[in-house]
C-alpha cells in the first residue's frame, strides 16, 4: 500500500507532488476510484484554477462522497491550494458548495487598487499551531513558501488557523480541524520547505 494517495480528478499538478515524494522515498499512488480513495493511508486533495471548476470536477469524477467518507475515518487528509479552499464551506469565486470539512470561508482579497492580485511568489508563514505535525522543523523565522492565489481563506474560529500569512492583511495560509488540514501555498514548488512539509505529512 502506498504511503500517500493523491485524489485524481483531472485537476491539480499531481505529477509535481509525486516527484517531491519520490525525492523523499515515499511511495505514492493516484486515487482515481472511490475504492482507492477509501483504501488510502493518507490522502492529498490537490487543486488549481477556479473554485467551481475544481468542485464540479471532483463531483463529476464520482470521488466527492469517498473523500468525505475518508475524512470521517480520521485518517490524515491534506488539501493544497484550491484543494484547501474546497475544504471550506464555499468561495466568493463561485456558487458551488465546498466540502465543509473545516468551518471557514474563501473570500476575495481586498480590491483597494493597490494590492496586486493574484498573490504570487514567496512569502513567510507563521505557524499558529507550532506543535502540529505539519509544522515540525518549519517554525523558524525563515520558513517561507510559494503562493499563487487570488482568494484567501478566513476561518470562523482562530483555533482552525494552522498558519498565517500577510498580504493585504492577515489570512490563513494553513487550516486544520482534527485529521483534516489544508495549505494555501504550493509545497511542491517550495523547495526544501515544501519537501519538509510533505515529509511531515507522510509520517503524520
The residue ranges of every structural domain in the chain are 4-202
Active-site choice (93, 119, 149, 188): 188
Express each pLDDT in 4-54 by its tens digit. 999 999 988 888 999 999 999 999 999 999 999 999 999 999 999 999 999
Whether 54 is catalytic is no
| Residue positions counted in the chain | 204
Active-site choice (18, 54, 81, 165): 81
Whether 149 is catalytic is no
What percentage of the chain carries pLDDT values higher than 90? Answer: 90
Assess if CATH 3.40.50.880 describes domain 4-202: yes
- Of the chain, the end-to-end C-alpha distance in Å amounts to 16
Indicate the pTM of the whole model: 0.96
Joined together, the cell numbers standing for residue 146 give 510559494
Whether 186 is catalytic is yes
Amino acid at each position: 500500500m502506498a504511503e500517500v494517495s493523491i485524489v485524481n480528478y483531472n485537476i491539480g499538478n499531481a505529477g509535481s507532488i509525486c516527484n517531491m515524494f519520490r525525492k523523499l522515498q515515499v511511495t505514492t499512488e493516484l486515487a482515481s476510484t472511490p475504492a482507492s480513495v477509501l483504501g488510502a493511508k493518507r490522502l492529498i486533495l490537490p487543486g488549481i484554477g477556479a473554485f467551481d471548476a475544481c468542485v464540479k470536477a471532483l463531483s463529476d469524477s464520482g470521488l466527492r462522497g469517498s473523500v468525505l467518507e475518508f475524512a470521517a475515518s480520521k485518517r490524515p487528509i491534506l488539501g493544497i491550494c484550491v484543494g484547501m479552499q474546497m475544504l471550506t464551506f464555499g468561495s466568493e469565486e463561485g456558487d458551488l458548495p465546498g466540502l465543509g470539512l473545516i468551518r471557514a470561508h474563501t473570500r476575495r482579497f481586498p480590491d483597494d487598487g493597490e494590492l496586486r492580485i493574484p498573490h504570487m511568489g514567496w512569502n513567510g508563514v507563521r505557524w499558529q499551531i507550532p506543535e502540529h505535525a505539519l509544522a515540525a522543523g518549519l517554525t523558524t523565522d525563515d520558513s517561507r513558501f510559494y503562493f499563487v492565489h487570488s482568494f484567501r481563506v478566513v476561518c470562523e474560529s482562530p483555533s482552525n488557523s494552522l498558519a498565517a500569512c500577510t498580504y493585504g492583511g492577515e489570512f490563513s495560509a494553513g487550516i486544520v480541524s482534527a485529521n483534516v488540514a489544508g495549505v494555501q501555498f504550493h509545497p511542491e514548488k517550495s523547495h526544501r520547505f515544501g519537501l519538509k512539509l510533505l515529509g511531515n505529512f507522510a509520517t503524520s
